Amino acid sequence: MTEHKRKYQDIKIPEELNRMINQTIRKEQQERNRRKRQTRWIAAAAVLVVFVTPLNISQGFADTMAEIPIIGQIAKVLTFRSYTVESEELVAEVTIPEVAELNNQAFEDKINALIQEKVDQTLATAQLRAEEDRQAYLETGGTEDGYEERKTEAKVDYTVYAKSEDALSFMLYSYDSIAAAYAEYSYYNLDVKNDREWNLQDLLGEDYVAVMTDQVKAQMSEQEDIMFWEEVALSDWKVREDIDFYINGEGRVVVVFDKYELAAGYLGRLEYEIVK
Amino acid sequence: MSTTGLNHFLLIEYIKTHQEQFYRIAYSYAKNQQDALDIVQASVEKALRASKGIKEPKYISTWFTRILINTSIDFLRKRKREVLTDTMEEWIGGKTEEREENLDLYEALDRLQPEEKTLMILRYFEDLRFQDMAKIMDMNINTVKTQTYSIIKKLRIQMECEVNGK
């Protein structure tokens, strides 16, 4: 079969492919944004009247509410702000989560400042990259007007994993249209009762590295379809002390490995739930 | 925001990093550049619009491959209808000399039904396991195995006949 396989691998990839893919993604994104703006206004208008009761009834409901700009601020514990930043080189759509109504104002401020700092830093880096991209484009014969069409787009958004009496767990993520490799992820795991951030030691005990390592290894051995790197299979391999993690709806720790950390990049960020 | 936004983002990343693979698959059906590009573009559009259908990130590849294959097959059917009415004779009659040389699986694909093509592409070019093929094609794993082997057998007989000039 090798000869057939080679012929298949040799299929010439046309230059237009990459451009076409990027254009298609961009066009769909624009349509999506247009649709979202419309529905938001309709939903905001419809909901304003009905909605005065407290929001902690159901997470799904609270999530829906938080998506509507005007109402967002009423939702307890986690709200958000949305805005668009635009420069000559970059358009960024930012949705930042904000913690609210925690017991301790100082802790609340600290977390919100951390998030804001992260977002600012991300946007600054994206801007820098976009400037380089624009310069490269102009230097290779592109025009100012042409660049307007292919401006770098960046996005900052978040996803919530747990919202309970004990834990508020969410992730802030960002990426831009220059390359998927620049995606960034930051996890926030708040102990809302005691106004501090959860760490793995509190959640899994003194020997948390051993606990995680055992469980991850056991689960990896069942994933027969994944080829893990050789060094990961060695007996002295351990989970990093500073591994990313979140807390899921069942209150369990889920560790998240970086892309390429355990296996080939196309598998993305591999996650393992740690059951204690 | 729910995980839908995240899945959409992961889908975009998946599309950007796997575009050449999509093109090869599409090209194996269409056998010409313009049609293959059209198939990839239509698949990407469909997928982006339907990204809510992704339940878990780990299924993105299965999910997208299914869209790509269905789009390719639809495309082939449409094209075949057009071609048949135009140049039916060319398809049935001519080109016998050309067939003698260069017989291999890749070219033999042209003689298969679209669904049969899919099995060959996934198994022998994309190196997928039967269980993944079953997921993508929404078929029972045993059916996938039996059909794959019977196509191989059929192709082998065809090729041997032609080589022997029969």
A15 alpha carbon, distance to own chain's centre: 31
Q: Which of A7, A21, A80 sits opposite B44 (nearest CB)?
A: A21
What's the structural domain count of chain A?
2
Is A15 part of a structural domain of the chain?
A: no
Closest-approach residue (CA) in chain A for B1: A159
Which runs of E-coded beta strand occur in chain A? 77-86, 90-100, 152-163, 167-176, 184-191, 196-197, 244-247, 253-256, 271-274
Note whether residue A25 is domain-resident: no
Give domain status of residue A21, yes or no: no
Q: Are residues A64 and A174 in the same domain?
A: yes
Is there a single domain that holds both residue A171 and residue A239? no
Q: Residue A195's pLDDT band (boundaries 50, 70, 90)?
A: confident
Give me the pLDDT at residue A39, please. Answer: 59
Query: Is residue A212 domain-shared with residue A257, that is, in the same domain?
Result: yes
Amino acid at A104: N
Q: List the CATH number of the domain containing A207.
A: 3.90.640.20
Among B48, B105, B124, select the one facing A25 at the smallest CB separation: B48
Clarify whether residues A120 and A216 are in a common domain: no
d(CA A197, CA A110): 11
Task: Please give the average per-residue pLDDT across A52-71, as a whole number.
Answer: 44
What confidence tens digit (pLDDT) does each residue in B2-16 have?
566 778 888 998 998
Q: Over the Cα atoms of chain A, what is R_g?
A: 22
The long-range contacts involving B55-62, CB below 8 angstroms and separated by at least 24 positions, are B57/A268, B57/B6, B57/B7, B57/B10, B60/B7, B60/B10, B60/B11, B60/B14, B61/A266, B61/B14, B61/B18, B62/B132, B62/B135, B62/B136
Q: What is the C-alpha to C-alpha distance for residues B40 and B36, in angstroms, rounded to an integer?
A: 6
Contacts of B9 in chain A (CB under 8 A): 155, 157, 173, 175, 183
User: Does domain B1-94 bear CATH number 1.10.3470?
Assistant: no
Amino acid B88: pLDDT: 43
Q: What is the spatial distance between Cα A133 and Cα A203, in angstroms, rounded to a whole number?
A: 44
Q: Which of B3, B7, B8, B13 to mutate to probe the A interface, most A CBs <10 Å?
A: B13
User: Which chain B residues have a beta carbon less than 8 Å from that of A20?
Assistant: 37, 40-41
pLDDT exceeds cutoff 80 at B99: no
Q: Which of B106, B110, B135 to mutate: most A Cβ within 10 Å?
A: B106
The domain spans of chain B are 1-94, 95-166
Cβ of B20 within 8 Å of Cβ of A225? The answer is no
Q: Do A25 and B12 touch (CB under 8 A)?
A: yes
A242 part of a folded domain:
yes
Average pLDDT rounded to a whole number, residues A70-84: 60
Residue A4 CA to residue A10 CA, distance in Å, equals: 10
Question: Which amino acid is present at A32?
Answer: R
CATH of domain B95-166: 1.10.10.10
In a domain, A40, yes or no: no
In a domain, A186, yes or no: yes
Q: Which of A11-15, A82-86, A162-166, A238-242 has the highest mean pLDDT?
A: A238-242
Residues A143 and A191 in one domain: yes
- Enter the tokens of residue A129: 């990259």
**Which structure tokens are listed for A55?**
């929001």
Of the candidates A165, A197, A229, which is a domain's last residue? Answer: A197
DSSP labels for A68-134?
Answer: SHHHHTTSSEEEEEEEEEE-SSEEEEEEEEEEES-S-HHHHHHHHHHHHHHHHHHHHHHHHHHHHHH
Distances (CA, A) of B39 to A90, A200, B75, B84: 31, 47, 7, 20
The per-residue pLDDT of chain A, averaged, comes to: 80
What is the DSSP-derived secondary structure letter of residue B125? I
Mean pLDDT across B45-73: 88
Pick A237 or B163 by higher pLDDT: A237
Same domain, A61 and A192: yes
Which pLDDT score is estimated for A62? 47
Range of the domain at A111: 51-197
Supply the angle between the helices B60-92 and B33-49 in degrees, to the nearest 10: 150
109-138 in A: which are within 8 Å (CB) of B? none
Instruction: Give the whole-number percent of chain A exceeding pLDDT 70.
Output: 82
Q: What's the pLDDT tens digit per position in A79-134?
A: 788 888 888 888 888 888 988 877 788 888 999 999 999 998 888 888 888 888 88
Please identify which residue in the block is written with the tokens 């050449």.
B20
pLDDT of residue A260: 83
Domain boundary among A179, A197, A215: A197
- Residues in chain A closer than 8 A to B16 (CB atoms): 21-22, 25, 180
How is residue B4 written in tokens? 């839908």
Contacts of A13 in chain B (CB under 8 A): 20, 23-24
State yes or no: pLDDT of B69 exceeds 80: yes
pLDDT in tens, A170-180: 999 998 877 66
Q: Is residue A27 part of a domain?
A: no
* Residues A220 and A116 grouped into a single domain: no
The answer to whether residues A113 and A100 belong to one domain is yes
User: Rounded CA gap, A228 and A264, in Å?
Assistant: 8
**Residue B104: what pLDDT?**
63
Share of chain A above pLDDT 90, in %: 28
Highest mean pLDDT among A3-17, A177-191, A210-224, B66-80: A210-224
